[in-house]
Amino acid sequence: MKNNKFINTEIIQDIENRTAIEADAFRLYPIFLIDPCILPLRSTNELTNGHKNNIREVIMSSPLGLPYGAYSRLLIAYITTIAKQSNQLESPSIRKIANKCGINCLSGGKSGNHHRFVEQLRKVLALDFYVNDFNRKEKYHVLELTHRAVVADKTIFDKKGKTNITISFELSNSFCQLSKNKCFPIDNRVLIYLMNNKSVLAIDLYLFLAYKAPNMAKKSTLLNWDLLRALFSNTANKRTDNFKKELKRSLALVKLAYQNLNAFLGKDGLIVYKSSPHVSKKLETY
């Protein structure tokens, strides 16, 4: 498959040829973070964000500032998948964590990605979630780290990017339990593909549709433009015409990767038809 408008189409070929399990790209993502998508798209000074609807209330906070961008989503998928297996990881290095997230190269210097990845890692490891599920009337403080990564800045931001810092952390039992019951499978290669095409909105759209499209009660549903703006609330400051243009590009990217997705943009909004799962839970081996 070739597409002159988008880069890294070799990832799409790999998705077509190998399952997520075969590519070591099977990941899990929390349901409560995608409806609406409350992780910031870009850098923010906010320490807290959340939402409340007739299903649940979710509040997330971090004393270091909220994580944002593609790296934060890759890292959350990583720790959610760990929570499904066990509640801790034995002294991983930052580079090994990056590799597990699908990032094969960390480079130092002002233009490198090493310091940006470590920044998001710190923020994610400092996250605390509060989830109140109204149906079950249960409350969770989801991510309470017994051990946090505390490393000198000059070591983390080594200019040559050759540091191999090891960290140790333990996920709370409540987060592990919640991850078993309130997460859904995704293909991590899609997140990498969308990140390389510089669209965090496309990552959120993929996460939303990877859960919603296979689990719809009806054959189809229309998400009008007002609902889409509320769903992707981090785009609220965009002009409507710019939002529509970016969403159109994001959907085109997502449909290249999630080829069984049956969804179309029309004048009234996004029409989503019930679709087969992109990653089947039957493949889950954890």
DSSP state of 18: S
Strands (E), 62-200: 88-89, 128-133, 138-141, 169-170, 183-187
Predicted confidence at residue 27, as pLDDT, reads 94
pLDDT of 16 > 70? The answer is yes
The pairing of beta strand 128-133 with beta strand 88-89: unpaired
The size of the chain, in residues, is 286
d(CA 220, CA 149): 45
Its pTM stands at 0.85
Task: Tell me how far CA of residue 101 lies from CA of 71, 128, 187, in angstroms.
Answer: 8, 21, 11
Given a contact cutoff of 8 angstroms between Cβ atoms, the answer to whether 27 and 188 are in contact is: yes
Q: 151 pLDDT band (50/70/90 cuts)?
A: very low
Range with the poorest average pLDDT among 59-68, 177-186, 199-208, 269-278: 177-186
Average pLDDT, the chain: 81
Looking at residue 168, its pLDDT comes to 62
Taking CA atoms, 79 is separated from 40, 84, 169, 176, 259, in Å, by: 18, 9, 10, 10, 27
Out of 81-95, 96-110, 135-149, 272-286, least confident range: 135-149
Contact 210, 263 (CB under 8 A): no
User: Mind listing the pLDDT tens digit for each residue in 92-142?
Assistant: 678 888 998 999 888 877 778 888 998 998 888 888 877 777 665 554 444
**Exposure of 57 by Cβ count < 10 A (0-12 exposed, 13-18 middle, 19+ buried)?**
middle
- Where does the chain show beta strands of DSSP type E? 26-30, 48-52, 56-61, 88-89, 128-133, 138-141, 169-170, 183-187, 220-224, 262-266, 269-273
